[in-house]
């Protein structure tokens, strides 16, 4: 299909994306919901990918807006070469440094010279960031990681995520318990709201919770032998992931 043109709109700048158009998506056989490699002309050696949506919107283009001073009404050329979406920013647009817009804390950071992470002089190690499609090699290390894994695997469970449980929400619900749960899940079959807790290992649950504190324990490894210390439902994500990947036809 011939190349297309995407016109920058205010909402695209805010959402860091572009609308490629439904005709472009269909004409090039792009599948909505999948991620595609993206090349931005003028930014050499940058490898990014973006997610295509059914209405033609392409997300994940932070680099485009951080490197080029694009404004509402600017035209960005769009092409599909091989298996890659190629974006061509308009000629003559000023290339700007890939930095954030000024924030009140920026001056202090500039005076210190480095971001917080770098100021600690960390050792040089490889840290695999989570991304859709890499769960076969990416493994959770902390409780926040558990939320990411559950999000990727929830379609294979009886539950979907509703929300986290802050103090304000629990007060509004009139919920009283000895310990605060982490989240609210929704049972896909019944529509019931269920209180949930997240742990890396199910053994850690009994240190701060009782079996009746929550309905569902979401953990990476279910290694607690004394089941009387656990809630009725324990969802071990590691075993679930292995089951999902066993057939080799699930992209996680």
For residue range 75-126, what is the model confidence (pLDDT) as tens digits? 999 999 999 999 999 987 766 554 545 555 555 545 556 777 777 788 888 8
Structure tokens at 98: 């890939």
* SS3 assignment, position 234: strand
Q: Which domains does the chain possess?
A: 4-88 (2.40.330.10), 143-246 (no CATH)
CA 78 – CA 150 distance, rounded (Å): 35
Question: Looking at the predicted structure, is the pLDDT value of residue 243 above 50?
Answer: yes
Q: Model confidence over 39-88: pLDDT tens digits?
A: 999 887 888 888 899 889 999 998 898 889 899 999 999 999 999 999 99
CA 201 – CA 214 distance, rounded (Å): 16
CA 231 – CA 42 distance, rounded (Å): 55
Structure tokens at 150: 């559950």
């Amino acid at each position: 299909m011939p190349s297309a043109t995407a016109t920058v709109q205010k909402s695209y700048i805010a959402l860091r994306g572009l609308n490629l158009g439904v005709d472009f998506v269909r004409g090039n056989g792009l599948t909505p919901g999948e991620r595609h490699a993206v090349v931005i002309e003028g930014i050499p050696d940058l490898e990014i990918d973006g997610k295509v949506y059914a209405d033609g919107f392409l997300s994940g283009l932070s680099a485009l807006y951080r490197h080029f001073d694009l404004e509402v009404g600017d035209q960005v050329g769009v092409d599909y070469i091989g298996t890659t979406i190629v974006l061509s920013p308009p000629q003559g647009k000023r290339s700007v440094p890939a930095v954030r817009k000024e924030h009140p804390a920026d001056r202090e950071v500039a005076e210190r010279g480095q971001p917080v992470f770098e100021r600690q002089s960390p050792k040089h190690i490889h840290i695999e960031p989570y991304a859709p499609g890499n769960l076969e090699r990416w493994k959770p290390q902390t409780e926040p990681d558990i939320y990411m894994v559950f999000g990727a695997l929830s379609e294979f469970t009886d539950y979907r995520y509703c929300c986290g449980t802050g103090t304000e929400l629990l007060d509004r619900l009139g919920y009283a318990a000895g310990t605060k749960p982490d989240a609210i899940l929704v049972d896909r079959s019944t529509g019931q709201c269920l209180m949930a807790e997240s742990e890396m290992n199910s053994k850690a649950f009994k240190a701060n919770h009782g079996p009746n504190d929550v309905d569902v324990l979401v953990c990476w490894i279910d290694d607690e032998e004394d089941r009387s210390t656990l809630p009725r439902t324990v969802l071990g994500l590691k075993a679930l992931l292995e089951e999902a990947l066993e057939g080799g036809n699930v992209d996680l």
